[in-house]
Structure 1
Amino acid sequence: MTVLKALKKMFGKSETEQLAPVSSAPSHTPSHRTDGNQPGRTATVAAPKHEPVTTPTAPAAPAIASEQPRSETPKPPKPRREPKPKAPVIPWKLEDFVVEPQEGKTRFHDFKLAPELMHAIQDLGFPYCTPIQAQVLGFTLAGKDAIGRAQTGTGKTAAFLISIITQLLQTPPPKERYMGEPRALIIAPTRELVVQIAKDAADLTKYTGLNVMTFVGGMDFDKQLKHLEARHCDILVATPGRLLDFNQRGDVHLDMVEVMVLDEADRMLDMGFIPQVRQIIRQTPPKNERQTLLFSATFTEDVMNLAKQWTTDPSIVEIEAQNVASENVEQHIYAVAGADKYKLLYNLVNDNGWERVMVFANRKDEVRRIEERLVRDGVNAAQLSGDVPQHKRIKTLEGFREGKIRVLVATDVAGRGIHIDGISHVINFTLPEVPDDYVHRIGRTGRAGADGVSISFAGEDDSYQLPSIEALLGRKISCETPPTHLLRAVERKRP
């Protein structure tokens, strides 16, 4: 007993303390949890029985040197980082957007546009209107229907978007409105063009609070439906087929459309979309109760008949033919046998070290073969055609835009609506069957004031297209014989 008492004395505890039951532990030891079956109630969990319990006032026990825990110098607390003060938001004023009047040019200031819209126009760096913008806005901002003939790259997209946004800002939306009831509808023939228009719309509406949505085939239907169910749709940009899918399911109602735009009507005719477009238009208000804008690269008889059916006393805006091709694009035509076209293409790209080239062919199987041969011969190439899934098309375009893909091979349908700066060369592997497509193709280069080059291969199977192309351009294009070294055989890469 003497030894036991000595040990107790050594560790500073009395016999009563040593024999204290676990249940007498002080209240600071339990942890707390919320009882899931009874909300708001808290259950106390007792400390495990195998753990020793000490009182807060017990003195520290001495320990043998070999068992003494290593003492650590306490680290000083880290200094608290104060949040950086946010920069004050400086309200934008129209006076911040200064554009001096210039003879022969129309400013956006010359129209009555909302400050939110003008702010976005300034961000995009648009001080003056293009010719078609100046002419179209003069009619559409007054509420008139309009028909515009304009090639790609003339600014027609911004023209009808500015008109739409102005209309929606001036007219408040109805108090009772479903999520799937757009106030403005834009129909375009290709997925790429829809995506591009929607991007431009998002840029122009970023200060307005208007919502822009897209419906295109080849992409996740449910994901597009969730976007539609999440918020009101002000501006809807869609391809005809996917829009009909939503409309026939009852997810989209077009009875509140105030402004309707048909872009590239000639292309929709060529692709056989007009029956679908007719079904869509029947769901919209009568033509005298909506504003209708129709744009086309050509005013064929068929296009004008459609315009007569769908518009009311429209104003007609035309861009003169001499502006059909950009003066910034240097045009060449090589007379070459069909069997030598691929060698010429490969050697042009490889010898000159071109980094961002777009190649056009007339058929999807041609596009596929050209892309496969380029990849096999060590050129980083990708294809863009109607057979390529939409998610892959978007990834391909991003890779081309970022410079990861050197050569993009495409059909005319897939090439419509592609607006990528920095394309140095466009090569027509085969001449297009429709002259207007030639203008659209070479318009992929020489954008935003930059210089560009187009090279067309005229073979025995397609050279007959040249006269109609030259007639459209209003001038002759000299035909050249390619240098011999550009026709040398392609060295096969070792596997």
Structure 2
Amino acid sequence: MSNAPSSAADSTASTPSASEWSPDQFKVEPCEGKVRFHDLDLPDVVMRAVADLGFEYCSPIQAKSLVHTLDGRDLVGKAQTGTGKTAAFLISIITDLIDYPYLGRRRPGKPRALVVAPTRELVMQIANDAAELVKHSGLKVQTVVGGIDYDKQQRQLREQVVDILVATPGRLLDFNRKNDVDLSEVEILVLDEADRMLSMGFIPDVRAIIRSTPHKRDRQTLLFSATFSDEILHLANMWTLDAIQVEIEPERLTADTVEQIVYMVSEKDKFNLLYNVVRQQELERVMVFANRRDQTRRLTERLTKSGISAALLSGEVGQKQRIKTLEAFRSGAIKVLVATDVAGRGIHVEGVSHVINYNLPEDPEDYVHRIGRTGRAGAEGISFSFACETDAFMLPDIEALIGNRLQCLHPDEELLKRPA
């Protein structure tokens, strides 16, 4: 989309020659009712990354959106996390930046594409996915998030050229006001989980950020939300131009094959309960969800010290380590995978017998995503949720969403014994 003139010598790193790899090396047979990535006329360097990731057929949101976004259209998409929407907008961004290379002198801190997301964990996950998809293209990805590494992020913005910037609203606005980020030539703007940004009070920051980008007629804008409330549709109408609207129906809320049990337990007894449930029931493949990254880290360490093979999956885990961890979990080398909501969404591992919610999630929809990791493809699964004095009040909202009363039990004393 860029029409800036000048010499390619000042651009980002060079793209590998097409002779190094061909889509013919990645065979995917046509399948009725499915769209192959081969069918989308993607650049070879993008197809090579798609092949590396093992993507063969588009998910529904990818199939419905890419045909429009690759053509430069604005899009408003209703889709939950875990549907493949991240890859959908990243593939569209990367393809556009490759097909329309910036030929002028690049200045640090001046991105061509901007992705705004509400949480640090989601930003890190998007950036990890982007790193995998750009690895053959020479495009550069940077993150800007609150709470950590202020000086390091500022230094990178001042010193390094960036093609795709992934950011949380508050920190991005801070750097923008200090002129460390220049958004005046953003060609593609993505607003991810707009409903969550609305509920978290970020819309004033997002408005200020958007005012710093080119007018909507001079950029492509993609907005994704799990819900289409009147306010979200109003914002979408303000920020997009003649947008295509795509809706993906959410997966069935909770599978009949998942038995859902809530243990009423004090916070101080939760780890003992977790340990004893895993040990006494000899669980082989279980996912444990907690609300915060520091909590997932501590749980992984305590489980490991207690003799249970466990590994961590959170936004701070790099893509290579993430892949290794998932392979070990699939093979059975790791019995317990401890994850945050953002890191855990989109994980499809066959044979997960149990999901344990160490905390009840603050967003009822996250409960649905969590327990959906088990009871897949007709197999039976069990979810245990630990509800204590600080999070039991979330149960009514979860029950209202899933349309069922949850079975609440007090654990036997045997399940609360301290690990030996």
Q: With structure 1 as the length reference, what TM-score do the two structures score?
A: 0.66
SS at match of 2:416: coil
1:491 lines up with 2:417 in the alignment? yes
The aligned counterpart of 2:180 is 251
Amino acid paired to 2:63: A
**CA offset at residue 464 of structure 1?**
2.5
Of residues 88, 95, 107 in structure 1, which corresponds to 2:24?
95
CA distance in 2, matches of 1:223, 1:483: 48
- For residues 138-217 of structure 1, the aligned pairs below 5 Å read 138-217=67-146
**CA offset at residue 305 of structure 1?**
2.1
The aligned counterpart of 1:305 is 234
Structure 1 contact 147–307 (Cα < 8 Å) conserved: yes
Rg bigger for which structure? 1
**CA offset at residue 263 of structure 1?**
0.9
The aligned counterpart of 1:74 is none
Change over 3 Å in CA distance of 1:95–1:266 after alignment to 2: same
CA distance in 1, matches of 2:292, 2:108: 40
Amino acid paired to 1:349: V
Structure 2 contact 264–408 (Cα < 8 Å) conserved: no
**CA offset at residue 363 of structure 1?**
9.1
1:112 lines up with 2:41 in the alignment? yes
Structure 1 contact 347–487 (Cα < 8 Å) conserved: no
Structure 1 contact 193–418 (Cα < 8 Å) conserved: no
CA distance in 1, matches of 2:106, 2:189: 18
CA distance in 1, matches of 2:125, 2:291: 23
Amino acid paired to 1:119: R
CA distance in 2, matches of 1:350, 1:190: 34
1:465 lines up with 2:397 in the alignment? yes
Structure 2 contact 263–384 (Cα < 8 Å) conserved: no
Please give the per-residue CA displacement for 1:273-292, whole angstroms capped at 9, x wherever unaligned. Answer: 22211111110011111111
Amino acid paired to 2:401: I
CA distance in 1, matches of 2:41, 2:313: 41
SS at match of 1:488: helix
Number of residue-to-residue matches in the alignment: 387
SS at match of 2:20: coil
SS at match of 2:277: helix
Structure 2 contact 189–221 (Cα < 8 Å) conserved: yes
Structure 2 unaligned spans of 5+: 1-17
CA distance in 2, matches of 1:355, 1:249: 51
Change over 3 Å in CA distance of 1:270–1:358 after alignment to 2: farther
**CA offset at residue 255 of structure 1?**
0.5
Amino acid paired to 1:97: F
The aligned counterpart of 1:239 is 168
SS at match of 1:95: helix
1:332 lines up with 2:264 in the alignment? no
Amino acid paired to 1:428: N
Structure 2 contact 169–205 (Cα < 8 Å) conserved: yes
Please give the per-residue CA displacement for 1:281-316, whole angstroms capped at 9, x wherever unaligned. Answer: 110011111111111122222222221221112111
SS at match of 1:416: helix
Q: With structure 2 as the length reference, what TM-score do the two structures score?
A: 0.76
Higher relative contact order, structure no. (Cα contacts within 8 Å, ≥ 6 residues apart): 2
Bigger helix fraction: 2
**CA offset at residue 332 of structure 1?**
2.3
The aligned counterpart of 2:150 is 221
* Aligned alpha-carbon RMSD (Å): 4.1
The aligned counterpart of 1:31 is none
Pick which of 224-233 and 356-365 moved more: 356-365
Amino acid paired to 1:488: E
